[in-house]
Amino acid sequence: MNPLDTLCVIPARGGSKGVPRKNLLDVGGKPLIVWTIEQALAVPELDVLVSTDDEEIAHVAREAGARVPWLRPAHLAQDTTPTEPVVRHAIEQVTAERGRPDAVMLLQATSPVRHDDTLARALAEFAATGVDSMVGVVEQPPFVWQAGDPPQAAYDVAARPRRQDLTAENRRYRETGSLYLTRTEVYEQHDNRLGGRIGLFVMAEDEGVDIDTDLDVALAARLLERRDR
């Protein structure tokens, strides 16, 4: 079987509410976005493209080796802009440029901690399972509550489980936001990164870091520096 033609899209808007200019923030000695670009470029099967509205981000991305063939139009770079229209715009531009990709790997620069084999493993699992879309997840303890009157537990409080006794069927996972892999037709038909038959791509616990606060920045830097050692 021939490998899928996979476009890797890394969205990187210039604006940011929580941590200003966070895509360019120095994290562990590199601009934040560069970690994700370098991880993607290490996988030969990926066509690595950064979608940004920002000239400085575009420059840094190109210097790191990613393709930035155009700047994202302003109407796709608002605070309220979802990610899906950004990916569809990238698909349309790339299709006009060199042909329609079979699938899209969406990587969020704000989740920079990924192991060396993670992206290649995701591509292999995607091909082997034949799913239409795949979402990166990390395992989380089952002791989750939903607010309400009364609040509801996601587990049986009368028979509290031990984490080590959980079976594969009743394990719970949290979406990391780090990685999605999707057949192009899912974006075209559903305008969604997830659709059709969905698979879980289980990542390591430390790969679940998402940068929204200064504390997240410090934690990511510590993990990335430790990984590089």
Active site residues per annotation: 160
| H or E element in which residue 47 lies | strand 46-51
Report d(CA 132, CA 155) in Å as an integer. 30
Q: Are 10 and 207 in contact (CB under 8 A)?
A: no
Report d(CA 100, CA 39) in Å as an integer. 23
State the burial class of residue 163 (Cβ atoms within 10 Å of its Cβ: 0-12, 13-18, 19+).
exposed
Residue pointed to by tokens 């037709």: 185
Cα 70 from chain centroid (whole Å): 21
Tokens read off for 181: 């892999």
Q: Are 9 and 49 in contact (CB under 8 A)?
A: yes
Report the sign of the C-alpha dihedral through residues 50, 55, 57, 58, in that order: positive
